[in-house]
């Protein structure tokens, strides 16, 4: 059985949230859906749901637009060529950059959780 993620949860996963209200910015995903033919959410009861494959495509799009500063036209061209075929053997490839940044963020998150666990209960022991 496939697991689907709704648009609000995907916005939160991608950290596409308003910094003030902390509400998901679903309009960004709806815009990307119009711009990139690779994004085709399943609509159930007028709600958008994304498969794991769709989520990976959207993560790649976000990485290229936000982290690499590419334009929408540039990302469209790159997706058309297929990023996986484009840079399989290149050491400093976009795929490498994507996974490097992903692992850095994941590591920071884990370290923060470990620090919270380590410091749990230390506040009252002076």
List, for residues 47-84, the tens digit of each pLDDT value. 999 999 999 999 999 998 988 899 999 888 888 775 45
Identify the architecture of domain 1-81 in CATH.
Orthogonal Bundle (1.10)
Q: Which are the contacts of 69, defined by CB distance < 8 A and separation ≥ 6?
A: none
Confidence band of 7 (pLDDT split at 50, 70, 90): very high
**What's the mean pLDDT in 33-37?**
93
Q: What is the pLDDT of residue 126?
A: 46
CA distance 49 to 55: 10
List, for residues 100-120, the tens digit of each pLDDT value. 777 788 888 888 888 888 887
Q: Which of 25, 109, 99, 33 is nearest to 67 (CA)?
A: 99
Domain boundaries of the chain, sorted by first residue: 1-81, 88-126
Confidence band of 123 (pLDDT split at 50, 70, 90): low
Q: What is the pLDDT of residue 2?
A: 64
Question: Quick check: 16 and 24 in contact, CB under 8 A?
Answer: yes
């Amino acid at each position: 059985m496939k697991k689907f993620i709704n648009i609000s949860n995907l916005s939160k996963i991608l950290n596409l949230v308003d910094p003030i209200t902390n509400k998901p910015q679903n309009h960004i995903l709806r815009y990307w859906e119009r711009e990139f033919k690779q994004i085709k959410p399943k609509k159930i009861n007028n709600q958008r749901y994304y498969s794991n494959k769709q989520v990976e495509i959207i993560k790649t799009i976000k990485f290229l637009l936000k982290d690499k500063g590419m334009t929408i036209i540039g990302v469209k061209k790159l997706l058309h060529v297929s990023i996986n075929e484009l840079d399989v053997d290149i050491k400093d490839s976009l795929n490498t950059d994507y996974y490097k940044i992903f692992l850095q963020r994941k590591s920071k998150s884990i370290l923060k959780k470990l620090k919270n666990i380590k410091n749990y209960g230390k506040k009252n022991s002076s």
